[in-house]
Amino acid sequence: MIYHCIRFTLKPGVSDEEKAAGLAQMGEHVNAIPAIKARVVGPDFGGGFDYGAVTVLEDIEGYEQYMNHPAHLADVPDVAELVAGLGEYTGSAAPGSCRFII
């Protein structure tokens, strides 16, 4: 299993409607991208970020399918317009197989 996790902070001035639409758009990936086994999007707790998302994928092929899927690629520019800061972690249960980007 691969766990792709992002944490993000919204830009000042993002409206409640923009926030709700962006989070809903991210949440719909589970329905649009077959490689996703599970997806959670919501408030982030215990850190310097507002929200987070965890995507569970079966294997590296699923990760590649997810990252290159048209639904994911279409959402990146829209969501990026709302984000001020981003942290990312991708890893698996295998020892030594993770990376951090902050």
Query: Tens place of pLDDT for every residue, the chain, 102 residues?
Result: 899 999 999 999 999 999 999 899 888 989 999 999 999 999 998 778 999 999 999 999 999 999 999 999 988 888 888 899 888 888 876 555 555 444
Joined together, the tokens standing for residue 86 give 């981003």
Global pTM?
0.82
Give the fold, CATH level 3, of 2-47+60-101: Alpha-Beta Plaits (3.30.70)
Domain boundaries, the chain: 2-47+60-101
Angle (CA) 28-41-13 rounded to 5° is: 100
* Spatial separation of the C-alpha atoms in residues 51 and 9, rounded to whole Å: 6
